[in-house]
Amino acid sequence: MVVQESTRFLPEIPGHPTVVTALREVVIGAVLVLFLRFRPQGLLPERRYVDRLPPDRVDPGVDAHERDQRSPHALSPLPATETAARAPTPRLLATDQPEASTTEPAALVVEGLYKHFGGVVAVDNCSFRAPKGQVTGLIGPNGAGKSTAIDLIAGFKLPDAGTIVFEGTPIQGLPPHRISRLGLIRTFQTPREWPGLTVLENVLLARWDPERETLWRGLIGPVRTQRLALESELSRARAILAELGLDKLSNERAGNLSGGQKRLVEFARIRIAEPRLVILDEPMGGVNPVLGERMVAAIEGFIASGTSVIIVEHNLPFIERVAHHVVVMAQGSVIAAGPFESLRSNQSVIDAYLGEVPYE
């Protein structure tokens, strides 16, 4: 209204926007920028129901009404049939298998994770540890629940119950952007890149920090400081691309690369982002042996730089080569864990892959 009053004396030109119209568009654009900056999860964020344990894991010393009042996001009780479907499956739990030591530092600890979609139980009482500073392989037959488990860990799906602790911080129910800012990032089965940007630009974007690189700081910050920071990032990005054999493709559009090359660009983004834990979802899918060797070297580089790694993969020779610790899933549960060599003769693992899991 103030804008209209202050500009009403200006003549209107037929076919051209008035000052009021132009200012309105500027204001709307500014509001959108502010929302993207301060409310990336939206005006009305999704409720995250993560606090209620399933019936078979409820603390018997706590009254049900008191438990519901204690949790602001409590789930409503499940039907009896669904509760039974979510109960653990003892016949699949290989308790005689060596676990990662509970005394050594863990990058990730998953306890009692559940996820169901209607009547389908995708993750059923899943528990495992990923040792810090090591490569953990997550394997299992198709439909074992591996992809759903990492979706829950990275915040892309909400768990029905269970805890996920990343380096001492509970992260279950947090949205993906908050988890990534804590230092846990993931890749997907299909490489994801900005196809219209160059390889170098794709890598540089992984260093963008919305908390640090604000519009206000960009407008008033010292030009020399910004230029030196950009030169430093450019130099580091080029060095990483050279290590991965992508230096000659730095000015190529990422959309023109092969699947394996796009995967290496993802690895370059991981290196420059410096996460504390990265989850790789089937990184060897569709990758030729030459590029596969570069990926092995890149994973070794992650560990050398202090980044812990979890790899979901069907390529067992690859897992045997790079993983220090292996977790095996079947029917949504962890059935075995330990060094790869100890799992070769494990009957539960053999039965899971051959489809002959014995009933007890």
Mapping DSSP onto H, E and C, the string for 207-241 reads CCCCCCCCHHHHHHCCHHHHHHHHHHHHHHHHHHH
The per-residue pLDDT for 62 is 40
List CB contacts of 211: < 8 A, sequence separation 6 or more: 181
Task: Report the pLDDT averaged over residues 71-79.
Answer: 38
- Evaluate if residue 159 carries a pLDDT over 80: yes
Q: Which of 207-216, 232-241, 243-252 has the lowest mean pLDDT?
A: 207-216
If asked whether residues 142 and 274 sit together in one domain, one would say yes
Q: Report if residue 135 sits inside a domain.
A: yes
CATH of the domain at 98: 3.40.50.300
Q: Name which residue leads in pLDDT, 223 or 115.
A: 115
- pLDDT, mean over the chain: 78
Which has the closest alpha carbon to 189: 146, 157, 135, 158? Answer: 146
Total domains, the chain: 2
Of the ranges 69-78, 211-220, 229-238, 299-308, the best mean pLDDT one? 299-308
Q: Report if residue 214 sits inside a domain.
A: no
If asked whether residues 137 and 31 sit together in one domain, one would say no
**Burial, 96: exposed, middle or buried (Cβ in 10 Å; 0-12, 13-18, 19+)?**
exposed
- Evaluate if residue 339 carries a pLDDT over 60: yes
Q: Name which residue leads in pLDDT, 262 or 222.
A: 262
Q: Are 54 and 160 in contact (CB under 8 A)?
A: yes
Q: What tokens does 141 get?
A: 């037959």
If asked whether residues 24 and 98 sit together in one domain, one would say no
If asked whether residues 29 and 122 sit together in one domain, one would say no
If asked whether residues 12 and 124 sit together in one domain, one would say no
- Evaluate if residue 285 carries a pLDDT over 60: yes
Q: pLDDT tens digits, residue range 241-253?
A: 999 999 999 999 9
Q: Report if residue 105 sits inside a domain.
A: yes
The per-residue pLDDT for 229 is 60
Q: Name which residue leads in pLDDT, 218 or 81.
A: 218
If asked whether residues 31 and 168 sit together in one domain, one would say no
If asked whether residues 149 and 15 sit together in one domain, one would say no
Task: Report the pLDDT averaged over residues 204-219.
Answer: 66
Q: Report if residue 252 sits inside a domain.
A: no
If asked whether residues 150 and 24 sit together in one domain, one would say no
- Evaluate if residue 37 carries a pLDDT over 80: no
The per-residue pLDDT for 231 is 78
Q: What tokens does 121 get?
A: 């139980």
Q: Which of 5-19, 31-45, 328-342, 344-358 has the lowest mean pLDDT?
A: 5-19
If asked whether residues 34 and 106 sit together in one domain, one would say no
Q: Report if residue 240 sits inside a domain.
A: no
List CB contacts of 303: < 8 A, sequence separation 6 or more: 133, 134, 135, 309
Residue linked to tokens 């390889």: 199
Phi, psi of 171 (to 5 degrees): -125, 0
The per-residue pLDDT for 84 is 41
Following CA atoms 323, 104, 176, 89 in sequence, which dihedral angle do they give, to the nearest 10 degrees? 80
Which has the closest alpha carbon to 96: 338, 315, 353, 357? Answer: 338
Give the integer Cα–Cα distance in Å for 19 and 257. 46
Q: What tokens does 131 get?
A: 């040792």
If asked whether residues 17 and 100 sit together in one domain, one would say no
The per-residue pLDDT for 299 is 95
Q: Report if residue 340 sits inside a domain.
A: yes
Task: Report the pLDDT averaged over residues 283-303.
Answer: 91
Q: Report if residue 228 sits inside a domain.
A: no
Give the integer Cα–Cα distance in Å for 355 and 349. 10
If asked whether residues 18 and 140 sit together in one domain, one would say no
- Evaluate if residue 107 carries a pLDDT over 90: yes
Q: Which of 15-24, 60-69, 183-192, 302-311 has the lowest mean pLDDT?
A: 60-69
Could you tell me what percent of the chain has a pLDDT over 90?
Answer: 52
If asked whether residues 182 and 285 sit together in one domain, one would say yes
Q: Report if residue 149 sits inside a domain.
A: yes
The per-residue pLDDT for 308 is 96
Give the integer Cα–Cα distance in Å for 277 and 133. 9
Task: Report the pLDDT averaged over residues 173-194.
Answer: 93
pTM of the entire structure?
A: 0.69
Domain that includes residue 322, residue range = 92-193+257-354
For the chain, the maximum distance between any two Cα atoms, rounded to a whole number of angstroms, is 87
Q: Looking at residue 128, what DSSP letter applies?
A: E
Give the integer Cα–Cα distance in Å for 324 and 133. 10
